[in-house]
Amino acid sequence: MKLKLLNALQDAVIKAPLHFEFGGVTFKFTAHIKLLDTQQIDELTSNNTKTDQQIARELLVGWDGFIDEGQPVTFSSDVLEQLLVYGGIAGRITAECINAQYRVQEKN
């Protein structure tokens, strides 16, 4: 019997808080990360041919609560590209995108 419950995971998004400092600037937002199955994670992480920037582009699909000088920042590929110019930011986003794949939230 195939679990129908798992069908909902095909388009699921993981919401993960990101809060880090880079170059004296604080970044804080909730990342929306594409959920991968185990095979997809293995392919992504064992290949070692993709850069942090490529992985972030593939897995980060949105965000909430990103504020720049008091104004909300809408997710777009253009804004993401501005962030990914910095290797430290790309690495931090990529690490969270991968780590989020292994966290399971407990329901009350």
pLDDT digits over 44-74, tens only? 888 678 899 999 999 999 999 999 999 999 9
pTM attached to this predicted model = 0.89
C-alpha to C-alpha distance for 98 and 35, rounded to whole angstroms? 9
- Residue 90, CB-side half-sphere exposure with 13 Å CA sphere: 15
How big is the CA angle at 56 (ends 35 and 46), to the nearest 5 degrees? 75
Identity of residue 83: L
Decide if pLDDT at 92 tops 80.
yes
